[in-house]
Structure 1
Amino acid sequence: MTAHEVYKSGGERDAYIQRNADRHRVVNSEDRMQDETGKRELWPAIANGVRCRCPRCGIGRLYRAYLKIADVCPHCGLELGNARADDLPAYIAITIVGHILVVGLFEFQAGAAGIPPWVYLLGMCFAAIALPLVLLPSIKGAVVGLQFANRMHGF
């Protein structure tokens, strides 16, 4: 019989968790006791990620190359290699750039811009290629910061 089966009501289950709190502790890389369920600051971690810095200390570099996350933060020693941003940064970048390009398309069709079509097409093609490449490192850093703050994927 498991603890979950024995303590089905909320109050009894909370009492069980309080009595066994030491089992729910881990030691981080700095050998300090840290609660697994403790909250980390969300917005500072995301802001550090947007600046392409370590989500914990904000000083060490997040990337070792363009979009290649460093294995370990050189300043605080946080293991960054477990971060898995996958496709979310690309989806966010496509959404942002798509909205920018659609606004440009509306401006062009309304005739308010007063530019020749070939100049518009050249500018939009350049923007469609350059903007995602510029935005992706910061967006991916924000996703890594979000993962760090929520203790996802090995953080």
Structure 2
Amino acid sequence: MKLKPGDPAPLIRVQDALGRAVDLAELVRQGRYIVLWFYPKASSPGCTAQARQYAELRDAFQQLGAEVFGVSRDPASAQCDFIDKLALGGGMIPDQSGLLGRAFGVGGFLGLGALLGLYNRDTILISPQGKVEQVWRNVNPFRDAQVVLEYLESKMKAAGQLEAASR
């Protein structure tokens, strides 16, 4: 089932590629936004561009109270190579079992995900209230991070929180 804005987010506990616990429920309790950007394959051209953008904008996301995680069905070893190669600094979740993909309704790449073990390029934003805030399906890997950041900045500005977040 594909989630839509306003739905309760599945607040699952998983491990990142470096073996650290990522507890989505705990991040929500801390009042954090969570960005999950699902991608097909580590080190492919589009995924590399998308990962670089998120890495370059990491500080801006953190200033807005957002934690960012890339999610693919790649094994942790492939994601660790990806992290090292691009100096990503972590934030990658190997979802070989498909638990997160199923929970967030992320389909298979080009409709062949079950066969190829690849995710569509979808991005999910979870609010600090534990709800799905926004869903972007089949995103452009060259613009995704900027689109999500601009959405968050706009939301914070409208709520009068942007100035407070940047202090």
Normalising by structure 1, report the TM-score.
Answer: 0.23
Q: Which has the higher helix share?
A: 1
Q: Which has the higher strand share?
A: 2
Indicate the structure (1 or 2) with the bigger Cα radius of gyration. 1
Normalising by structure 2, report the TM-score.
Answer: 0.22
